[in-house]
Amino acid sequence: MDTRPENPPRAVAGLSEYLAQGLVGHEHLVECLLIALLEGGHLLVEGPPGLAKTRAVKWLSNAVEGSFARIQCTPDLMPSDVTGTPVYQPQDGRFEFVAGPVFHTLVLVDEINRAPPKVQSALLEAMAEHQVTVGNETHPLPDPFLVIATQNPIEHDGTFPLPEAQLDRFLLHVVLSLPDLETERQILDLVIAETQDGPPGIQRMTLDQLRLARAEARAVHLAPELRDYIVRLVTATREGPLADHVEHAVSPRGSLALASAARARAYLRGRDYAMPEDVAAVAPDALAHRMVLTWRAVADGRKPRELVADILNTVEPL
């Protein structure tokens, strides 16, 4: 009997369909969730309250095998509340490390900008190195490991804006907006139906299926011309007329993020090769949060996403 896992594209398609059922009007968010999952990159979701940011992560956790933890950030949160801490065991006369909520497959960091800098620094190591250092000991995190953080752009009291080094660790930064009238009605119908009938069932994607899907997504071909296109988009934030608006340009990590996200998007569309349209589609979410504009550009009302759009219009694929 064949005991190999189910064909990964089918598993990913089923996961995509399940997320789309529960996240009405958030097709782009669903795609970014899947890209982050396939590439093992972390995701930052920003939007006002009530746009299903937390719900999206919970639905993803229901559909993928593995452990799930939620960290609700507050200004009094301590790093040990996230990473864990050594606890004295009187029966043995020694300290034993008790793992914190970051030691899970999928970790939701809710309202990350409410966490103080020390907590953000502890998360930085976990996200960047897939490990946690407590005292003199380093503890590896599970594989796979994925952080999805949310933040509310409306409230500013009691918040700590994420530093550029922390933002750079997110593969994608998704910005959500309020739905239109038709989508709002669909959301209302969905919630009423769930109240009466419950959420739909799903066969969870196993970790073996996820690992195989990741391997296939990373095998998607990036032609040399497409790689040149990616590099030219990123270096346009450093040199040329549009670079005059940028104080801190996109680093090489931006090129890597743009390439991996484009591969995953092509894989989700059933292709084993990426195209310029894949790069252009993920560029705003992959690059905008990695640059800092000059004070003059900010004073003129310029936004990083607008600058990425101008770069896409200026830099043509080969």
Sorted by where each starts, the structural domains of the chain and their CATH numbers stand as 8-197 (3.40.50.300), 221-314 (1.10.8.80)
Averaged pLDDT, 98-111: 94
Biggest CA–CA distance in the chain, Å, is 68
Task: Check whether the bond before 48 is cis (ω within 30° of 0).
Answer: no
Identify the weakest region by mean pLDDT among 201-205, 211-215, 262-266, 284-288. 201-205
Is the separation of the CB atoms in 116 and 75 below 8 Å? yes
Query: What value does the mean pLDDT of the chain take?
Result: 90
Is the separation of the CB atoms in 32 and 172 below 8 Å? yes
Distance CA 97, CA 43 (A): 28
pLDDT (0 to 100) of residue 9: 66
Supply the pTM of this predicted model: 0.91
pLDDT (0 to 100) of residue 115: 92
For residue 148, what is the enclosing H or E element? strand 146-151
Strands of the 146-151 sheet, one edge to the other: 68-72, 106-110, 146-151, 42-46, 170-175
pLDDT per position as a tens digit, 248-275: 999 999 999 999 999 999 999 999 999 9
